[in-house]
Structure 1
Amino acid sequence: MTSIGERVPRKEDPRLLRGLGRFGDDQDRPGQLWLRVVRSPVAHGRLVSISRPNGAQVVTAEDLPPGLRIPVRLKVQDIDLSDHLQPVLAAEEVRYVGEPVAVVLADDPYEAEDLAELVQVEIDELPVTVDTAAGVRAAEFELGYGDVEAAFGKADHVVQIEFDVGRHSAVPLEPRALLADVDPSTGALQIFGMTKVPVFNRDVLATMIGIDENLVHVHAMDAGGGFGVRGEFYPEDFLVPWLAWKLRRPVKWVEDRAEHLVAVNHSRQQQHVIAAAFDNEGTLLGLKDDVLHDNGAYARTHGIIVPELTLAMLPGPYRVPAFHGRIRVMLTNKTPCGTYRAPGRFEGTAVREQLLDVAADRIGIDRVELRRKNLLTADELPHTRAMSTLGTDVVLDSGDYLGLLDKAMVEADRLGYLSQLESLKAQGRKVGLGVAMFLEKSGLGPQETADVTIGTSGDVRVYSGGTSLGQGIETILAQVTADALTVDPAVVTVINGDTVLQPFGGGSWASRSTVVGGSAVHRAALAVRERAIRMASRMLEVSEEDLEVSAGTIGVKGAPGSSVSYADVAKACRPGSPYLQPDEPAGLSARRRFEVEHMTYPYGVHVTLVDVDTGTGRVKVLRYLVAYEVGRAINPTLVEGQLLGGVAQGVGGALLEEFRYDEAGQPQAVTFMDYLMPTAAELPQIDILVAQDAPAPGNPLGVKGAGEGGLTAAGGAIAGAIRDALGLTGPVGRLPMTAERVRGLDKEGK
């Protein structure tokens, strides 16, 4: 019996489709207080006073323990960001519109909202900075290897472009929600609604409140999407539990959509000046990039990992003999930034692939051929670059980049992309084809822990440190467990994100759930299987070598009637069993940890066909193909689903979504009237080609993460297609390619 590789239906779907999911806003407790956040209406100013309406429970920074700031979760580059961390509530100065300055508590959510509107915040306004280059420099660092100056000095062609990526972020179906309940006798906190990294959030919260982490129980929850922005530690993640603990009453907060657009982590905003050196044959000799990264008003939990990933992943899947990148992380009076699906790689891929398109035209070589010429070959892998990111050395593991590019182009031709392009051109339409290669990263450690237990009914339970963000982790981990135990996935129940049931979990982020979490589950399940065989050998009085496992039964080879089930073995593992040896632990279970020193690097190709209406500036995506190397697909349907969803978000970031600010720092996209997202009408049928030709050598399952590949190259592919459609000689210059910008480009082209 095997489960890995099968298109097993999602175990999550029966409850979710019946409305039986357990989301943050579903949680209520008798006597709960409702919390509403009062936010700064100005982008920068000195906080003078905060009024308290009669009878209202209003909490300001004066009421909190002194000096509370939200720590960085991932520290990189040995850069101290402590001077730039966000306070839980602004005490003396506000730095962006939407910054929390107070909270109001009431017995009813509508009353809380009404009272919050009555709170008067007096602020002496200060000069506002929205221009990235004029911001405060929070960090600056360089990454690279090789002699870049020598490479550019001997080049026959040097191509340089400027390219900006606009500010946008994730908009999950479900905004944030949090409920904190407290045991009045012990002070223990029950937290509902924290996702993504519950163990880290538990530890931060316990430290900030000053209690033992075992008094904080973060419960497993469903979530209507994560995408990097959900589940980090925000001011509300302290305020709600702290007030519950202090008042000894349940406290609940639910974010509305207007709050979400100014409060959660923004992402992406970067300005690049990038150059490449080539010889006369189009061989890449060197690459360099100078980047300005707008991080908004503060350094939040992600610190500077997005700018680090931008530089470390910029060379992509190409043979780049020499590389140098410099990045300056600037603070402005805007919402602070963090990660959003494919952080740093969406930006860097868009910039690099646009540079290659421009270079191909200037050198006089086909765009695909230029890429083919400069891709690392399978014989050159593994390939080490003298850089590190996220605390791990960059070692590109297994792959066949050339082979996947060729497969993608053959598939695009078979599906009619090229013939449709020529047909529409013949009709006088402004159509263009975009091709973009990308390299991803996945499986970040340092560890993940999992428990697997078989009960006396034969049912299997898995306790994982991952979290359910909609990615199908319950199904994947059930398949991994079922495969190791040779049982039906239907008997496996997976519980993720509960800090009592799994106190050592690393969470779900960085496309690590299957790679690291799945490997930990695999190890734990194999350990349970080994223990079951050992116990069965005592029960059946035969050697372990004479036993085989099939469909949840352990039997003697060649003796069909001589067997025991996992349920029988679980009963034999109870205390008092004659089969247990002295001091041998009871129960049929195991806890195992999987540790990794290096990430694994999936990769792929995006091919898209667009139609540009130069009169209106509208860009219509006609066709879209994603070819992606996943190493090994535990469940191909779920891999395809991840890629489909990523493309949808990529189209939004490439064409529509942007947070803009006026000179006073006032956000100009605070509703869906202004923050535009793609609907079904803006998306074409998306073609998917999942490759499993290069299993990852660094984990026992051979898997590579699938969470971000549908998004990573969308900006690069769509920008390339628009450039092709308009016949530009230079770059499109900026994402998103809004209608206004497309019209401007067309005028430039003419």
Structure 2
Amino acid sequence: MMSTRIFGSGIRRREDPRLITGQGKFTDDMVLPGMVHMAFVRSPYAHANIKSIDTSAAKAAPGVVAVFTGADIEGLGTVPCAWLIPNSNLKTPAHPTLAKDKVRYVGDGVAIIIAENRYQAQDAAELVQVEYHVLDAVVNPEEATHDGAPQLFDEAPNNIAFRWIASSGDEGVEKAFAEADVVVKERIVQQRLLPTAMEARATLAQWNAGTNELTVWVTTQNPHIHRFILSGMTGVPEHKLRVIAPEVGGGFGSKLPVYADEALAAWASIKLNRPVKWAETRSENYLVTIHGRDHVEYVELAAKSDGTVTGIRGLVYAGLGAYVSTAGPGIPTILHGLMYSGAYTFPNIRCESVGVFTNTTPTDAYRGAGRPEAIFLVERLMDKMAHELNMDPVGLRRKNLIPPFENGHAVAIGLTYDSGDYEAALNKALAMVGYDQFRQEQVEARKQGRYLGIGVTTYSEICGLGPSQVAGAIGFQGGLWESTIVRVSPTGKVQAMIGASPHGQGEETTFAQLISDELGFPVEDVEIIHGDTNTTPMGWGTYGSRTTPVAGAALVLAARKIKEKSRAMAAHLLEAAVEDIDYADGKFFVKGSPDKFKSIQETTLMATLAWSLPPGMDPGMEASQFYDPPNFVYPFGTHIAIVEIDPDTGAVELKRYVAVDDCGPQINPVIVEGQIHGGIVQGIAQALYEGVVYDENGQLLTGTMMDYTIPRADMFPKFEIDSTVTPSPHHPIGVKGIGETGTIASTPTIYNAVIDALSPLGIEQIDMPMTPPRVWAAMQAAHGNGHNGR
């Protein structure tokens, strides 16, 4: 039994040994008898009418079992959108699983080949002859709204899918800007990004004609949602449809949507009565798996001369791609506009988001999903306002920070943050980096012609999605609760079944720690079961930094039910009143007599045998629990970066990176730190390295890792990580999410640091990614305008 708390211990991840030794089993590792393989014929054009499709040569190719075009697909629904934003006049044109008459982006599926192996399927795909009438394409979301731009759908004039406004009150916003002493403005381009999970997507579907049951193995972040949607698309009842997410090698949001290829594999398996597998290549992954970001934003900040911010407003053109994806409309609206307050007391807020169709890959959630874009614009404007007012950026932030609060703070845009002490995190980060000393060193460095800069971001983030009633109110077509079953065997082992499905977050470890801490079992005696809709209770998935705040809460509450039943059983066995039983380290004992006890294993065994039970107690030791959170949770923190720029090359060297984050009590600090590290790297990558590029014809120019820059570990210094601890008041153990905070904070931190370094040259803006050529060009232009950099 345990002698110390396991909660808060940085034990090693239990998942790692099997993964790092190659013992993990992923979807593409699955092999079934009689299995065939699926390959796609994809459009080489971003916008074209389909005139004809000739599949005769492909059908005659070696190993080919079947060839299907859009005209052949019967009984399979279109790909649905699951976030129908209210009050937005949302247009959701049909998204067919295979294009019949028109293709709308490079990679749009036109036909599928089913063959005995994947190589035969891929070879046969090249034999399909498709005649196209090529149309003009549009790839920029702002330009797509202009009169005369190519139109993707007749029902969406000017390619506008929706127009959504969140406002604290338009009259107040207008007054704030009209009466402001200073207004700063900026046009911000949040470039497209590729999620680039370690594992590309894959699907294996198996139809059992004898039982009319469909089993689908799939790389998903939410197997129960996949079952829900695939049932609707295929017509197979949910109780006859089993979805299994085996090992899933990362997702970052890209494995949240339901894709056409997954539904087609299921349909083909039913049609052919054979198992059908599809596994995308990395080039396919870049071409058709969702992209992230893609915003063009016009934003303004209003303030008084003393630095008091009086208002913020923005107009966002959000690129949705060629079709509305599963959660696509929610990213630039609910998850973006409602975070315009950031960590500050902004009294007047307005966000107008325009969702726009373009001839590009559909966009959806990518780590942070709308919140990184919002915090970026807030923090960028704060730095710009500080420069305009000749104030220190930290001083401006400190003046406008929300004061410490423990039990709710309502912001102007309608949210109620749960708890926070933003200044404590800011102070700790400033002390760690030696802010005042750095500013002195910076003065001397500039005298020497060095370009040294510092960037600060203070953020708050909405996560732990979220109350189901709120989900319904904001148009999300599902619930946001989680459920769990905790079962203790008579031999003293614990199984905990969860509906959420982690894919790299380490929940097999942290959730075992929660059970171990609550019940006193050794952590190695606790098994976390997830990813199979036939063996786990319903859950809504792992995304939005919600698994620990929501599924973890259900788990803890179920464990507490087990504890109380065991307490009652122990009282019965010890012939004492329940209120006289204390508990510690897995033992129930009579108060004042610690030597008179029953272990939780004993109480479980006796409850299972049921030889003698207290009145009204059922046999066994098992508990189920649903948890629908009463509010979101709001982690927060401060990140600070120091950079130096090489004037000869424009290269940005990251010299130091400090992060102080507050996610409430930490179950496993090592796993928390790992999540923060990964998030920081992805955010820095957006600032400095990554960016999707399309040409004017909609051709993807960054379709391989040779063209799309993924950062390496050796590009970064050792991150300096610390935390503050502010529990969430409404959560059973006070925890908040942490998986996305690093990404949310790091992009503006790096961006502001680079602009600070270049401020002697009068440079105020460089498009991301801030690559050496872009930085160097900006420096040369500034020198040409007479700035000497001192």
- Shorter-chain TM band: over 0.9
Question: Counterparts of 2:415 and 2:514 in 1: how far apart (Å)?
Answer: 28
**Equivalent position to 1:33, from 9, 12, 36:** 36
Which AA in structure 1 matches 2:6?
S
**Equivalent position to 1:682, from 693, 699, 715:** 715
**Equivalent position to 2:390, from 364, 367, 373:** 364
Q: What aligned pairs does 1:130-141 form with structure 2 within 5 A after superposition?
A: 130-135=139-144, 136-141=159-164
1:404 aligned to 2:425?
yes
Where 2:321 maps in the other structure, the secondary structure is coil
Partner of 1:2: 5
The answer (yes or no) to whether the contact 1:355–1:731 under 8 Å persists in 2 is no
The answer (yes or no) to whether the contact 1:184–1:248 under 8 Å persists in 2 is yes
Question: Counterparts of 2:576 and 2:776 in 1: how far apart (Å)?
Answer: 79
Question: Counterparts of 1:488 and 1:745 in 2: how far apart (Å)?
Answer: 59
Where 1:606 maps in the other structure, the secondary structure is strand
Q: 1:427 to 1:381 in 2, by over 3 A?
A: farther
Partner of 1:328: 354
The answer (yes or no) to whether the contact 2:294–2:318 under 8 Å persists in 1 is yes
Question: How far did residue 156 of structure 1 move?
Answer: 1.1
- Could you list the structure 1 runs, at least 4 aligned residues long, displaced by more than 6 angstroms after superposition: none
Where 1:124 maps in the other structure, the secondary structure is strand
Q: What aligned pairs does 1:727-738 form with structure 2 within 5 A after superposition?
A: 727=759, 729=762, 731-738=764-771
Which AA in structure 2 matches 1:354?
R
Which AA in structure 2 matches 1:395?
T
Where 1:474 maps in the other structure, the secondary structure is helix
Residues 476-496 of structure 1: per-residue CA shift (max 9 Å, x gap): 111111111122212111012
Uncovered stretches (5+) of structure 2, i.e. residues with no partner? 145-158, 469-480, 784-790
Which AA in structure 1 matches 2:45?
V
Partner of 2:275: 250
Q: 1:24 to 1:371 in 2, by over 3 A?
A: same
Partner of 1:648: 681
The answer (yes or no) to whether the contact 1:572–1:580 under 8 Å persists in 2 is no
1:106 aligned to 2:115?
yes
Partner of 2:528: 494
1:385 aligned to 2:418?
no
Q: 1:219 to 1:271 in 2, by over 3 A?
A: same
Residues 521-558 of structure 1: per-residue CA shift (max 9 Å, x gap): 00000011111222233333322223333333334445
Which AA in structure 1 matches 2:539?
G
Where 1:89 maps in the other structure, the secondary structure is coil
The answer (yes or no) to whether the contact 1:354–1:716 under 8 Å persists in 2 is yes
Question: Counterparts of 1:80 and 1:578 in 2: how far apart (Å)?
Answer: 63
Question: How far did residue 460 of structure 1 move?
Answer: 0.6
Partner of 1:14: 17
Uncovered stretches (5+) of structure 1, i.e. residues with no partner? 388-392
Question: Counterparts of 1:302 and 1:385 in 2: how far apart (Å)?
Answer: 25
Partner of 1:440: 461
Partner of 1:479: 513
Partner of 1:747: 780
Q: 1:551 to 1:478 in 2, by over 3 A?
A: same
Residues 176-206 of structure 1: per-residue CA shift (max 9 Å, x gap): 1221223331121222224211111101111
Question: Counterparts of 2:495 and 2:89 in 1: how far apart (Å)?
Answer: 42
Task: Give aligned pairs, total.
Answer: 743
1:716 aligned to 2:737?
no
Question: How far did residue 452 of structure 1 move?
Answer: 0.5
Question: Counterparts of 1:289 and 1:74 in 2: how far apart (Å)?
Answer: 22
Question: Counterparts of 1:361 and 1:21 in 2: how far apart (Å)?
Answer: 52
The answer (yes or no) to whether the contact 1:450–1:521 under 8 Å persists in 2 is yes
1:527 aligned to 2:561?
yes
Question: Counterparts of 2:128 and 2:436 in 1: how far apart (Å)?
Answer: 60
Question: How far did residue 682 of structure 1 move?
Answer: 1.8
Residues 223-282 of structure 1: per-residue CA shift (max 9 Å, x gap): 111111124201112111222222221111111100000111111111111111111111
358-367 vs 564-573, which moves further: 564-573
Question: Counterparts of 2:537 and 2:109 in 1: how far apart (Å)?
Answer: 31
The answer (yes or no) to whether the contact 1:299–1:336 under 8 Å persists in 2 is yes
Question: Counterparts of 2:740 and 2:10 in 1: how far apart (Å)?
Answer: 20
Partner of 1:226: 251
Which AA in structure 2 matches 1:144?
S
Question: Counterparts of 2:408 and 2:531 in 1: how far apart (Å)?
Answer: 34
Q: 1:738 to 1:85 in 2, by over 3 A?
A: farther
Question: Counterparts of 1:95 and 1:617 in 2: how far apart (Å)?
Answer: 38
1:567 aligned to 2:601?
yes
Question: Counterparts of 1:91 and 1:417 in 2: how far apart (Å)?
Answer: 61
Question: Counterparts of 2:763 and 2:337 in 1: how far apart (Å)?
Answer: 23
RMSD over aligned Cα, in angstroms? 2.1
Question: Counterparts of 2:284 and 2:707 in 1: how far apart (Å)?
Answer: 15
Question: How far did residue 317 of structure 1 move?
Answer: 0.6
The answer (yes or no) to whether the contact 1:81–1:299 under 8 Å persists in 2 is no
- TM-score w.r.t. length of structure 1: 0.95
Question: Counterparts of 2:597 and 2:241 in 1: how far apart (Å)?
Answer: 44
Q: 1:415 to 1:99 in 2, by over 3 A?
A: farther
1:54 aligned to 2:70?
no
Question: Counterparts of 1:303 and 1:737 in 2: how far apart (Å)?
Answer: 27
Question: Counterparts of 2:129 and 2:594 in 1: how far apart (Å)?
Answer: 80
The answer (yes or no) to whether the contact 1:602–1:705 under 8 Å persists in 2 is yes
1:161 aligned to 2:189?
no
Question: How far did residue 422 of structure 1 move?
Answer: 5.8
Where 1:132 maps in the other structure, the secondary structure is coil
Partner of 2:728: 696
Q: 1:313 to 1:140 in 2, by over 3 A?
A: same
**Equivalent position to 2:543, from 509, 514, 527:** 509
Question: How far did residue 417 of structure 1 move?
Answer: 5.8
**Equivalent position to 2:266, from 234, 237, 241:** 241
Where 1:642 maps in the other structure, the secondary structure is helix
Question: How far did residue 724 of structure 1 move?
Answer: 1.2
Question: How far did residue 383 of structure 1 move?
Answer: 2.2
Question: Counterparts of 1:681 and 1:634 in 2: how far apart (Å)?
Answer: 29
Question: Counterparts of 1:742 and 1:696 in 2: how far apart (Å)?
Answer: 42
1:596 aligned to 2:629?
yes
Question: Counterparts of 1:650 and 1:429 in 2: how far apart (Å)?
Answer: 25
Partner of 1:390: none
Which AA in structure 2 matches 1:551?
D
Question: How far did residue 296 of structure 1 move?
Answer: 1.0
Where 1:207 maps in the other structure, the secondary structure is helix
49-58 vs 664-673, which moves further: 49-58
Question: Counterparts of 1:586 and 1:550 in 2: how far apart (Å)?
Answer: 24
**Equivalent position to 2:226, from 172, 193, 201:** 201
Question: How far did residue 165 of structure 1 move?
Answer: 1.3
Question: How far did residue 744 of structure 1 move?
Answer: 2.6
Where 1:378 maps in the other structure, the secondary structure is coil
Where 2:283 maps in the other structure, the secondary structure is helix
Where 2:699 maps in the other structure, the secondary structure is coil
Question: Counterparts of 1:10 and 1:538 in 2: how far apart (Å)?
Answer: 38
Which AA in structure 1 matches 2:96?
P
**Equivalent position to 2:701, from 661, 665, 668:** 668
The answer (yes or no) to whether the contact 1:42–1:96 under 8 Å persists in 2 is yes
Question: Counterparts of 1:414 and 1:749 in 2: how far apart (Å)?
Answer: 27
479-488 vs 254-263, which moves further: 479-488
Where 1:307 maps in the other structure, the secondary structure is coil
**Equivalent position to 1:348, from 348, 368, 374:** 374
The answer (yes or no) to whether the contact 2:180–2:303 under 8 Å persists in 1 is yes
Question: How far did residue 730 of structure 1 move?
Answer: 5.5
Partner of 2:294: 269
Which AA in structure 1 matches 2:347?
P
Partner of 2:47: 44
Which AA in structure 1 matches 2:687?
A
Where 2:653 maps in the other structure, the secondary structure is strand
Question: Counterparts of 1:111 and 1:506 in 2: how far apart (Å)?
Answer: 37
662-671 vs 541-550, which moves further: 541-550
Which AA in structure 1 matches 2:638?
V
Question: Counterparts of 1:585 and 1:92 in 2: how far apart (Å)?
Answer: 61
Residues 344-369 of structure 1: per-residue CA shift (max 9 Å, x gap): 12222222212221211111111111
Question: Counterparts of 2:762 and 2:408 in 1: how far apart (Å)?
Answer: 36
